[in-house]
Structure 1
Amino acid sequence: MDNSICQVYEEIQSLEEEIKLLAEKKSFQREFQGESKGRESPSDLKAELESLEADLSFLMKFTGIQFTSHSKKTVEKTRNRTVQKHRLSGNCHSLSFQLEFQLLEMQNKESVSAVITDLSIIMESGEDSDMSKFVSSTEERGNLLTFFRSLSSYAEWYEHRRCTFLHFKAKYPDIVTLPEGLLGDYIILRNPKLSGFELMIVWKIHIDEEGRTTPVLDLLTKVPEQVLQQKMATIETAPARFRSMLLLFGIETAIENLIKVVGLEK
């Protein structure tokens, strides 16, 4: 991307404000024609606004990120130095976020530079320690582009997990249980005809401090002693076999095969 999503959003707001002002002064156009000479017409600004909105719509669909509010306040302004305080909130798929930061712009004869300081991020991602570490690392570095890029990947997996759990709960309501609801990171498989036997599929979403996101799945077993004695070899190798199925067939097929096996157990 040539510009960050925040920059596009700010440009749209700026254009909207300018169009509003031009519309209010439309009745005085003839009187002030000389002063407004050389400026873009409302129709040109509207066309530019529509183009930027189309770009923002594409970015929202591509990344899953939508902004719900944005405000900025100039706290310092000199000839070559401007400090603005920004507040931004939105959501990415089913995850909400809030940002607050200061943007320091320095201008000299050769160029203009911008630095983000005092970055604060609030994420509604439950008790995920990996996400907490990533947020802390991002706040220290002040790298918004990395944050949004990684948030898009993380939230996409988060939403994929939620939809997958919902799908299997609806398809196999007697076997699949969601102790922590759709936003939890595991499901329980039980055969109603086999008391005490259950399998737990744990689905974590790992994100490191650099923002790299990886899904991590594993299988835990809870088996009655009498069943364990009869099928010791099968039960002990179940987690390894599940991991092999993940590699060969993918997440959905591996889970579905496991559910079918649990449903057939008697």
Structure 2
Amino acid sequence: MQENLDQEVVLEAQVQTLRAQVEALQGQLDQDRGTRTGPFRGRMHNALLMLSGQEAEEVVEVEERLRAEVEEMEEDLSRQTTLNGFSISSCSAKTVHNSSGGVVLQYLLSGSCSVLIFQVEFCLSEVKGQQSSDRTISQLNIVLDSADCPQLSSFVSGVEQSLDLLLLFRTLRRFSLRSEERRTTFQHFQEKYPSIVSLPGGCRSEVMNLHHPQLPGCALILSWSLEVSVGGAVTPHIHLLTKIPETALQMDRVGAVGGAAESFQSLRRLLGTEAALESLVLALSQ
């Protein structure tokens, strides 16, 4: 996964570089056909050298070739995004230090994983040895923009201390998958049983309410939270709570209501979460 993510970051940077080259080329064409190639290097430098005195057909050929490279890299980036579950919206790097002994680059990476929007800033130092180079990460700063941030705050603080980027991206992926599993389950039951199931906070909330159509004031509340450990483990906690008026509890001589939570957990262990919820909803609908 780390290799795929590295490829995605590199592709995003290359796509943005080529886009900038195409725009700069077009701007140079609009201004003149001179030989002002000084600020450009690589493909852009060669392209502008060609433009100085060449025919319009060759100019168009250069521009089309650059655009084709952009499209090819965008396709590669799209495949990497589908594979990893990450979408990189921007990636920039600037040189902080450069000498014969090594180089320090400062990276700013922005993107998303499902509904988790992140921004990661760090310095990558490369010290050149006789046979190999040693790379280290420092000054790691992580910003998450999501309603689920409170559950990830302790984990993020730990990653900023440990400088473990691989752990960060692996955990964001796991958390997103668990969140999506909860969302699809809640949405499925709300759409299938609208008279019984309600979602006060929407499909992405942690709570599902179950009401008996003929028993107003009585409800079962499903709490489905996600815990993220400092080590990156994502653990779901699913509990059934009861909201029953005192008069109804007094009439429950066999303890059916009081034992609902324990019975639900037994069903979950035997059938799984979705099947246990299905059985619970069907029992309420009778």
Question: What TM-score do the two structures reach when normalised by structure 2?
Answer: 0.77
The whole-number CA distance in structure 2 between the counterparts of 1:71 and 1:3 is 19
Shift of 1:11: 4.8
Counterpart position of 1:35: none
Match of 1:244 among 247, 266, 275: 266
Pairs within 5 Å for 1:56-135:
56-126=77-147, 129-135=150-156
Q: Does the C-alpha gap of structure 1 residues 62 and 215 become closer, same or farther in structure 2, counting only changes over 3 Å?
A: farther
Residues 1:234 and 2:256 are matched in the alignment: yes
Give 2:13's aligned amino acid.
Q
Q: Does the C-alpha gap of structure 1 residues 154 and 196 become closer, same or farther in structure 2, counting only changes over 3 Å?
A: same
Contact 2:94 2:106 (C-alpha < 8 Å) held by counterparts? yes
Counterpart position of 1:144: 165
Residues 1:159 and 2:180 are matched in the alignment: yes
The whole-number CA distance in structure 2 between the counterparts of 1:71 and 1:116 is 16
Q: Does the C-alpha gap of structure 1 residues 26 and 59 become closer, same or farther in structure 2, counting only changes over 3 Å?
A: closer
Shift of 1:261: 1.7
Contact 1:137 1:209 (C-alpha < 8 Å) held by counterparts? yes
Shift of 1:131: 1.1
Contact 2:15 2:74 (C-alpha < 8 Å) held by counterparts? no
Contact 1:86 1:103 (C-alpha < 8 Å) held by counterparts? yes
Larger-Rg structure = 2
Counterpart position of 1:199: 220
The whole-number CA distance in structure 2 between the counterparts of 1:162 and 1:226 is 34
Residues 1:258 and 2:280 are matched in the alignment: yes
Q: Does the C-alpha gap of structure 1 residues 12 and 189 become closer, same or farther in structure 2, counting only changes over 3 Å?
A: closer
Contact 2:91 2:109 (C-alpha < 8 Å) held by counterparts? yes
Pairs within 5 Å for 1:168-183:
168-183=189-204
Residues 1:190 and 2:207 are matched in the alignment: no
Counterpart position of 1:215: 236
The whole-number CA distance in structure 1 between the counterparts of 2:139 and 2:110 is 16
Give 1:110's aligned amino acid.
Q
Q: Which moved more, 1:129-138 or 1:16-25?
A: 16-25
Shift of 1:198: 0.6
Contact 1:94 1:159 (C-alpha < 8 Å) held by counterparts? no
Count of residue pairs brought into register by the alignment: 253
Shift of 1:68: 1.0
Shift of 1:148: 0.6
Shift of 1:262: 2.0
Shift of 1:81: 2.2
The whole-number CA distance in structure 1 between the counterparts of 2:230 and 2:123 is 22
Unaligned runs of 5+ in 1: 32-41
For the residue of structure 2 that corresponds to 1:25, the secondary structure is helix
Contact 2:13 2:92 (C-alpha < 8 Å) held by counterparts? no
Contact 1:5 1:56 (C-alpha < 8 Å) held by counterparts? no
Unaligned runs of 5+ in 2: 22-41, 53-63
Shift of 1:58: 4.3
Give 1:201's aligned amino acid.
L
The whole-number CA distance in structure 1 between the counterparts of 2:167 and 2:259 is 40
Question: What TM-score do the two structures reach when normalised by structure 1?
Answer: 0.82
Contact 1:95 1:123 (C-alpha < 8 Å) held by counterparts? yes
Q: Which moved more, 1:15-24 or 1:102-111?
A: 15-24
Q: Does the C-alpha gap of structure 1 residues 15 and 113 become closer, same or farther in structure 2, counting only changes over 3 Å?
A: farther
Spell out, residue by residue over 1:183-223, the C-alpha distance to the aligned partner (whole angstroms, 9 max, x if none): 21111111232121011101111211111112221101111
Residues 1:5 and 2:27 are matched in the alignment: no
The whole-number CA distance in structure 1 between the counterparts of 2:174 and 2:188 is 21
Shift of 1:138: 0.7
Shift of 1:18: 6.6
Shift of 1:154: 0.6
